Amino acid sequence: MKIAIKNARIYDPASGREGNIGTVLIEGGRIVDNIDTAQIEIDAEGRVLMAGAIDVNAHMATYGLNFIRSCGLLPAERDIGEAYVHLGYTFVNEAFVTLHTAAYTHYELSSVPWLHTSIFLSLPLYDLENFVRSGDVEKCARVVTALGEISKCIGFRLFEPELYYEQDIYSHRNIEASRLLEFFARVADTLKLRIFVHPREASVSLISSYPESYHLSSVCELLAGNSLKELKAVLDSGASVDTGFIPSGNHLRILPEPQEIPGQVFKFDIGLTHPVYYVLASGEENEETNKLMDLLDASNDYKMAFSMMLPAKDLSQNCASLWASIASRFGFSFLARITRNVPAEILGIVDRGNLNIGSTADIAIYDVETESDQESMKQAFSSCWCLLKDGEIIISDGEIVGSESNKKTWFRKFSDSDREEALKILRQSSFRPENLEITDEIAGSLAEISEG
Amino acid sequence: MDEKIITSIVCPGCGCLCDDIDVQLSGGSIVQINNVCSWGIGRFVDRKKFANKKERKRPDGHYTRINGARKSVPLDEACQLAADVIRAAKRVLIYGLCQSGNRAQARIYRLGKKLGATFIPSEGPLVTMFLEQFKQNGLSLCTLEDVRNRADVVVFWGANPIHSCPRLVSRYALFARGRFTERGEEDRKAFIIDLHPTELTKVCNEAILKDGDDLALLRALRTLLNGEKPEEYGTVKPKQARELAKALEEGLYIAFFCGRGPFYGNDGKKFLKEMVDLVAYLNEKANCVLLPLATDFNTMGFYHTILRDGDCDVLGKSLMYDVRDWKPRKGDVVIGLGSDFIWFLSDEQKVRMRTKDVKVISISSYETLTHVNCTVALSCAMAGIEVDDLAYRLDSLPVKLKGIRKPMLPADWEILERLETSLKI
């Protein structure tokens, strides 16, 4: 299909377009610099065009969330998919998965319509402990990549490394968090991938020693404390972060450790250091938004991505409201950067999240102008006027028209892996290793991420 | 003779969904199965559960009834007849749902929603009640992997896994050696609370026999854990209750497996509410999880199908707890999916079914009482034995089911698709 989108005001800092009026040409699902005759012409005059948005860190299909859905606290997967595409998203990464829950998460994600999806694998620290002790970074990296290939992930995550080693009653757990982080920083360097860490306040400064190796996820939660200064130091050092998003009103919240929690508590143990707690919390209007703005304020050149974390009930309205605040305060280019360019860069997806020639034609057009007021911006962001994914029209004139099932589960093919050693780890589990391997039957249509 | 060995098959026998089954085939027939339990053997070679010498009859085609006599019809005609019956219905009920692969569950759920049907999962009396409690009071769950690796206190309450999930005790809950339970049963304290002595009585630390007074025992435990002396223990020996309370107090990771037992009486809901409270209380100082011990192999698959859909209202509106709550009415049509629902009805319900002329459509792999006596019998291949599908383990982890024997009949999900086409909805 050859498509020409004309007269759009284009925002894509990655390709140097900061609001100039122009044309985007599409052929064979990719952005091209020339086509002979367009089969479809879209006149986007008076509208803003950006690349399709990418969420680096969403918890929408992780183990147990369906039970929370039974309480009406979390939208249905279909509703989440719908809200995301209306916001202009084309790609969502679920970052809370273990080896044993990978099949669960992939299968759930395959039910989310329209969106391309991927997962990050939480590294099994118990199983990798011996590598940390021996300091064998190369071997550990090869095992990690083999585990990644089995679970079909695109990256890795360390789940609160500091907590496991705090448990003093186990005398053999004597690896300091600093040593562990130093070791996995070297693993990350070997893999040439940033490892996601969801840090506690105390370890933020530890991570700033390895700015190129780690990515701090959901830092918005840390803002509840007084970590703004530490976070800015981390950003100054060149580390990447994603915000996480705490909506106003009643919402679900993830708590890393037990504390006095009133009301309903949903506790899931999935083999990590400790269980994960989901609680119903309420937030003052604008409270968290203001904190997030404080962080964004100084972030023009930072590697900062906007992420949703736990999609709330009023996902599109809540998020669009925040985007409108961001766009009116920092500009559309900044919004395009934190919701498109940087997320793609963090996930290592070179051909999405930007409008470079040759990139995949994931494009969102909003019926908004730069001088629009915040309310109009909110309306426009909550209901994308036109959305293309892989060059296929998903939303036209605000209505979803694209095929639900035309979506893929993306994974990364790693170059050097030690499958035999990884199988030794998997054999410790009650599952046969071959049954932990993710295939198309579980994940839907699997596709390998292009490394450019 | 063409011989081959297929390894790491998942057994669709029960909610354990053991994935270590190795099968040897000769000329397309199964001649040897390794690692399978007595129940699983029945599944793989069409024998009765726990009575492997008796054959379990399979249907060889699709049937309808003409003037009371059973008549074989082609699949398309059978689907058309079933569609006619459904179109004429005033109310559609769908029973079973837990003994089918997830593909079939997703299709029948979609069909049921279009028809405005009432769903009655065969494991409803247990799992629906759990979900209702979770909705109100939160929950604490884990994977079976965590039970295997960490649980040092295991309590089977009103549940006999040897009869419901035979390999649960060896693979996960009692004898299994996990990361922090290297010595298996020596690293665990196990308790069974039941009406009668069972197979587990001999291997558990304490077998607590009670006479239907689960609530009294639960309250006594809570009082003991508070450091007070209970006023009553019901019919349970005080010493045993104290032993259990002590284990709960000292346990670092406590796993409760709850079967249907405590829910048969009128206090079922009250029991579960207080059970969830107890789990929350124990969670304040240790890890404690509560898992419903569902028997059917894909019970959680159906619940995940409806929960994924975000249809939280379905729990209150179109999900009936127990088939015994059903009062047959004229114009009712029951679709049984992978179930023998007539077997579970009371005599009064069976009489009412006849007098109210309730029509039954059965989709089954076995010649059950329901399949033989229904209005339209749509016979299907077995998921996980003859056709591929997917099922959720009792801890909600999905696994792939692999068809290893050549199917003579279509898959249940194919039949449901044809039925939907015939219904033109």
Residue B99, pLDDT score: 96
Burial level of B17, CB count in 10 A (0-12/13-18/19+)?
Answer: buried
Predicted confidence (pLDDT) per residue in A32-78, tens digit? 999 989 999 999 999 999 999 999 999 889 998 998 888 777 888 89
Instruction: Please tell me the distance from the alpha carbon of residue B324 to that of residue B246, in angstroms, as a whole number.
Output: 39
Q: Is residue A134 assigned to a domain?
A: yes
Q: Is residue B255 assigned to a domain?
A: yes
Residues 295-334 of B with CB under 8 A from A: 303-304, 307-312, 315
Q: What is the CATH number of the domain that holds B169?
A: 3.40.228.10
A34/B contact by beta carbon, under 8 A: no
B170/A contact by beta carbon, under 8 A: no
Burial level of B273, CB count in 10 A (0-12/13-18/19+)?
Answer: middle
A271/B contact by beta carbon, under 8 A: yes
Predicted confidence band of residue B315 (pLDDT cuts 50, 70, 90): low
Section A189-199 average pLDDT: 90
Q: Is residue A387 assigned to a domain?
A: no
Residues 3-42 of B with CB under 8 A from A: 7-8, 10, 19-20
Mutate to test the interface with B, among A430, A435, A439 (most CBs of B within 10 A): A430
Residue B205, pLDDT score: 84
Residue A173, pLDDT score: 64
Question: Strand, coil or helix: what is B242?
Answer: helix
Closest approach of A337 to chain B, Cα-based (Å) = 32
Residue B235, pLDDT score: 84
A contacts of B19 (beta carbons < 8 Å): 431-432, 435
As a dihedral over the C-alpha atoms of residue B337, residue B343, residue B347, residue B348, rounded to 10 degrees, the angle is -10
Q: Is residue A366 assigned to a domain?
A: no
A27/B contact by beta carbon, under 8 A: no
Predicted confidence band of residue A251 (pLDDT cuts 50, 70, 90): confident
Q: Is residue A421 assigned to a domain?
A: yes
pLDDT > 70? residue B245: yes
Predicted confidence band of residue A256 (pLDDT cuts 50, 70, 90): low
- pLDDT exceeding 70 applies to what percent of chain B? 98
Section A291-306 average pLDDT: 76
Domains identified in chain B, total number:
2
Instruction: Please tell me the distance from the alpha carbon of residue B77 to that of residue B74, in angstroms, as a whole number.
Output: 5
Predicted confidence band of residue B196 (pLDDT cuts 50, 70, 90): confident
Residue B312, pLDDT score: 59
Q: Collect all residues with Cβ–Cβ distance below 8 Å to A127 and sequence separation of at least 6.
A: A425, A428
For residue B336, what are its two tokens?
A: 């049984």
Q: Is residue A231 assigned to a domain?
A: yes
B contacts of A276 (beta carbons < 8 Å): none
Q: Is residue A167 assigned to a domain?
A: yes
Domains identified in chain A, total number:
1
Predicted confidence band of residue B248 (pLDDT cuts 50, 70, 90): very high
Closest CA to B363 of B78, B39, B121, B116: B78
Q: Is residue B405 assigned to a domain?
A: no
Q: Is residue A409 assigned to a domain?
A: no
Section B207-215 average pLDDT: 81
Regarding whether B274 and B160 lie in a shared domain, the answer is yes
Find the domain containing A267 and state its range. Answer: 52-352+414-448
How many residue pairs from chains A and B have C-beta atoms closer than 8 A?
123
As a dihedral over the C-alpha atoms of residue B110, residue B115, residue B116, residue B121, rounded to 10 degrees, the angle is -60
Predicted confidence (pLDDT) per residue in B380-391, tens digit? 999 999 999 999
Please identify, among B267, B292, B317, the residue that sits at the C-terminal boundary of a domain. Answer: B292
Predicted confidence (pLDDT) per residue in A12-27, tens digit? 999 999 999 999 999 9
Instruction: Please tell me the distance from the alpha carbon of residue A428 to that of residue A426, in angstroms, as a whole number.
Output: 5
Nearest chain A residue to B176 by CA distance is A430
A259/B contact by beta carbon, under 8 A: no
Section A358-365 average pLDDT: 97
- pLDDT exceeding 90 applies to what percent of chain B? 72
Nearest chain B residue to A273 by CA distance is B146
Closest CA to B223 of A189, A256, B215, A61: B215
Regarding whether B306 and B189 lie in a shared domain, the answer is no
Instruction: Please tell me the distance from the alpha carbon of residue B46 to that of residue B32, in angstroms, as a whole number.
Output: 14
B contacts of A434 (beta carbons < 8 Å): 7-8
B134/A contact by beta carbon, under 8 A: yes
Predicted confidence (pLDDT) per residue in A396-415, tens digit? 999 999 988 889 999 999 88
Predicted confidence (pLDDT) per residue in B126-179, tens digit? 998 888 888 888 889 999 999 999 999 999 999 999 999 999 999 999 999 998
Q: How high is the mean pLDDT of chain B?
A: 92
Q: Is residue B94 assigned to a domain?
A: yes
Residue A288, pLDDT score: 65
Closest CB to A430 among B8, B144, B315: B144
Closest CA to B184 of B165, B171, B198: B171
Section B358-381 average pLDDT: 96
Instruction: Please tell me the distance from the alpha carbon of residue B75 to that of residue B94, in angstroms, as a whole number.
Output: 20
Mutate to test the interface with A, among B307, B314, B315, B395 (most CBs of A within 10 A): B307
Regarding whether B257 and B183 lie in a shared domain, the answer is yes
Q: Kindly report the length of chain A.
A: 452
Mutate to test the interface with A, among B6, B141, B165, B179 (most CBs of A within 10 A): B141
Contact B146 A271 (CB under 8 A): yes
Regarding whether B99 and B183 lie in a shared domain, the answer is no
Closest approach of B67 to chain A, Cα-based (Å) = 44
Section A264-269 average pLDDT: 85
Residues 401-440 of A with CB under 8 A from B: 428-432, 434-435, 439
Closest CB to B308 among A100, A108, A268: A108
Regarding whether B285 and B142 lie in a shared domain, the answer is yes
Q: What is the largest CA-CA distance in chain B?
A: 71
B contacts of A428 (beta carbons < 8 Å): 179
Instruction: Please tell me the distance from the alpha carbon of residue B43 to that of residue A267, in angstroms, as a whole number.
Output: 35
Closest approach of B348 to chain A, Cα-based (Å) = 34
Residues 353-392 of B with CB under 8 A from A: 388, 390
Contact B328, B358 (CB under 8 A): yes
Predicted confidence band of residue A300 (pLDDT cuts 50, 70, 90): low
Q: Is residue B151 assigned to a domain?
A: yes
Regarding whether B327 and B352 lie in a shared domain, the answer is yes
Regarding whether B176 and B314 lie in a shared domain, the answer is no
pLDDT > 80? residue A246: no
Regarding whether B136 and B119 lie in a shared domain, the answer is no
Instruction: State the pTM of this model.
Output: 0.95
Regarding whether B322 and B209 lie in a shared domain, the answer is no
Regarding whether B353 and B275 lie in a shared domain, the answer is no
Residue B134, pLDDT score: 83
Q: Is residue B230 assigned to a domain?
A: yes
Regarding whether B234 and B86 lie in a shared domain, the answer is no
Predicted confidence (pLDDT) per residue in B169-192, tens digit? 999 999 999 988 889 999 999 999
Q: Is residue B398 assigned to a domain?
A: no
Q: Is residue B176 assigned to a domain?
A: yes
Contact B233, B222 (CB under 8 A): no
Contact B148 A430 (CB under 8 A): yes
Residue A95 sits at φ, ψ, to 5 deg, of -110, 20
Contact A71 B398 (CB under 8 A): no
Which long-range contacts link A191-196 to residues 24+ away (Cβ below 8 Å)?
A191/A141, A191/A144, A191/A145, A191/A156, A191/A414, A193/A155, A193/A156, A193/A348, A194/A155, A194/A240, A194/A346, A195/A123, A195/A155, A195/A156, A195/A157, A195/A158, A196/A57, A196/A95, A196/A120, A196/A155, A196/A156, A196/A157, A196/A158
Which position has the higher pLDDT, A207 or A362?
A362
Mutate to test the interface with A, among B18, B35, B146, B290 (most CBs of A within 10 A): B146
A184/B contact by beta carbon, under 8 A: no
Find the domain containing B153 and state its range. Answer: 126-292
Predicted confidence band of residue A257 (pLDDT cuts 50, 70, 90): low
Section B390-395 average pLDDT: 96
Regarding whether B417 and B284 lie in a shared domain, the answer is no
Predicted confidence band of residue A224 (pLDDT cuts 50, 70, 90): low
Which position has the higher pLDDT, B390 or A252?
B390
Please identify, among B292, B326, B344, the residue that sits at the C-terminal boundary of a domain. Answer: B292
Predicted confidence (pLDDT) per residue in B9-49, tens digit? 999 999 999 999 999 999 888 999 999 998 899 999 998 88
Contact B134, A67 (CB under 8 A): yes
Closest CA to A42 of A24, A16, A60: A24
B399/A contact by beta carbon, under 8 A: yes
Closest approach of B359 to chain A, Cα-based (Å) = 32
* Amino acid at the residue A380: A
Q: What is the CATH number of the domain that holds A83?
A: 3.20.20.140
Q: Is residue A428 assigned to a domain?
A: yes
Q: What is the CATH number of the domain that holds B377?
A: 3.40.50.1220
- The alpha helices in A121-193, defined as continuous H runs, are 125-134, 137-151, 161-164, 177-191
pLDDT > 80? residue B210: no
Please identify, among B292, B317, B351, the residue that sits at the C-terminal boundary of a domain. Answer: B292
Closest CA to A230 of B378, A239, A74: A239
